Amino acid sequence: MELETAASTVEVTDSGLVIRWSDGSRSRFHSLWLRDNCPSGGDKRKAFRTFSIIDLNPELFVIDAERNDDGDLAVEFSDGHESVFDFEWLRANSHEPHDRIGAARQISHFRAGAVLPEFDLPKRGSAAHCDLLDAVARWGVAIVNGVPGDVGGTEMLADLVGRVRETDFGRLFEIVVEPEVWEFSQSGLALDPHTDDPYRYTPSGTSILHCVEVSTTGGESVLVDGFGIAVDIRDDDPDAFDLLTETRIPFVRHRIETVEQGEDVHLLAHAPIISLDRDHEIVGIRFHERSMAPLDIDPSQVGAYYRALITFTKAVNDPGRAVQFRLEPGQAIVYDNQRVLHGRTAFGSDGGRRHLRLCTIDRDQFHSRLRRLREVHDRPGVLERLPSGSIA
């Protein structure tokens, strides 16, 4: 049967329903999907459920569907159950390929010379707070001004993003860099752009680098858009892209010496440098040249993989991709650690000091906060499919 509605037609088929929307698109809904999602079974968003999939009859089919007096869709099933669906809800939950990809993420790539979005420390829950998180989602990074230099200032900014994740580096990590200190990251040497924690199954998500003190020359921050690199390699060198997305390589951190902060670790994770989601969208970058363990991939793949790795590493270190600037005390960078690579230029042994404070928030925390702010401030993109990142 075919039923005219104000906005669409509904057709009962062997597998369920086909709804044609006024914009010309169509959505197919399977009988089992409809029965499972019947509102009478409870609200999946709240996990209050009384209906179980165990009770689904695999042979279930739709007998009839028609618009009721309230303008909703009444569906009668072969087991005698009747469901009432809201058309808007069905439209929002259409899972045709074009609808799934249609809720595309809003991402802008940056290269050298880009002016990164910059904000004053916003009030929690304000429209400016939403603007800040929107900018981090779009650009992968934003600069925040006016962050008090004490621990409370860092915590205040972190609280705008989500709950801080505690790791073996602690909750907040003080990066105090003095030229005479021996350890690599505490030296005045340049750090090539990298993502943190590639050796974790789930690396740092949204990270905050808060500048407390800079009294030396040099030591400028360098940021590179890893998603931009991935897109370019996908376009220019598809074979390299396939290797970088499909080959899991080892990253390691082994540290047993006594250190002032943190504890002994032996972390090891295998993951691709570029992670894709089910629709082959780029969702995560994992790259830290100094944290790569010896490749343990199929020997026949090593030559080809190194060629792809050289391509990627050159892009990471390409000055044409790097935004470079001096972070001043009271400024912080909020960045997506699984998208934007960070590094720094060398700085001189002029007796100066460089003190940054680092913390991280899991990306699901950040995305949750962003969705809620978009809901509260009536912004678009509440259902944007935000990149889930790189998971080993």
CB of 238 to Fe ion, least distance (A): 30
CB of 242 to Fe ion, least distance (A): 28
Paired with 118 in beta bridges are: 143
Nearer to Fe ion, 90 or 158 (CB): 158
SS3 label, residue 323: strand
Nearer to Fe ion, 275 or 360 (CB): 360
CB of 90 to Fe ion, least distance (A): 46
Nearer to Fe ion, 182 or 184 (CB): 184
Site size toward Fe ion (CB under 5 A) is 1
CB of 342 to Fe ion, least distance (A): 6
Q: Which stretch binds Fe ion (CB under 5 A): 5-13, 160-168, 191-199, 210-218?
A: 191-199
336 is a contact residue toward Fe ion (CB under 5 A): no
Nearer to Fe ion, 196 or 384 (CB): 196
Nearer to Fe ion, 90 or 356 (CB): 356
CB of 33 to Fe ion, least distance (A): 44
CB of 197 to Fe ion, least distance (A): 9
Residue 293 token pair? 């363990």
Q: Which stretch binds Fe ion (CB under 5 A): 84-92, 147-155, 196-204, 384-392?
A: 196-204
Contact at 8 Å (CB) between 43 and 26? no
Nearer to Fe ion, 221 or 245 (CB): 221
Cα atoms in the Cβ-side hemisphere of radius 13 Å centred on 216: 25
CB of 138 to Fe ion, least distance (A): 22
Nearer to Fe ion, 134 or 196 (CB): 196
d(CA 255, CA 232): 35
d(CA 199, CA 254): 10
Contacts 24+ apart (CB under 8 A), 198-201: 198/251, 198/269, 198/271, 198/286, 198/287, 198/288, 198/291, 198/292, 199/251, 199/252, 199/253, 199/267, 199/268, 199/269, 199/291, 200/167, 200/267, 200/269, 200/392, 201/269, 201/391, 201/392
| Closest listed residue to residue 343, CA positions, set 226, 221, 166 | 221
| Closest listed residue to residue 96, CA positions, set 30, 31, 28, 36 | 28
Q: Which stretch binds Fe ion (CB under 5 A): 20-28, 54-62, 121-129, 189-197?
A: 189-197
Site for Fe ion in 217-246 (CB under 5 A): none
Nearer to Fe ion, 196 or 225 (CB): 196
CB of 269 to Fe ion, least distance (A): 16
196 is a contact residue toward Fe ion (CB under 5 A): yes
CB of 294 to Fe ion, least distance (A): 22
Nearer to Fe ion, 10 or 222 (CB): 222
Nearer to Fe ion, 175 or 283 (CB): 175
SS3 label, residue 71: coil
DSSP code of residue 113: T
d(CA 143, CA 209): 10
Query: Between 127-139 and 151-161, two packed helices, what is the crossing angle to 10 degrees?
Result: 80
CB of 195 to Fe ion, least distance (A): 8
Task: Give the C-alpha distances (Å, rounded to integers) separating 179 from 212, 228, 345, 351.
Answer: 17, 33, 13, 7
Contact at 8 Å (CB) between 233 and 241? yes
| Residue 33 burial (C-beta neighbours within 10 Å; 0-12, 13-18, 19+) | middle
| Binding region for Fe ion (CB under 5 A) | 196
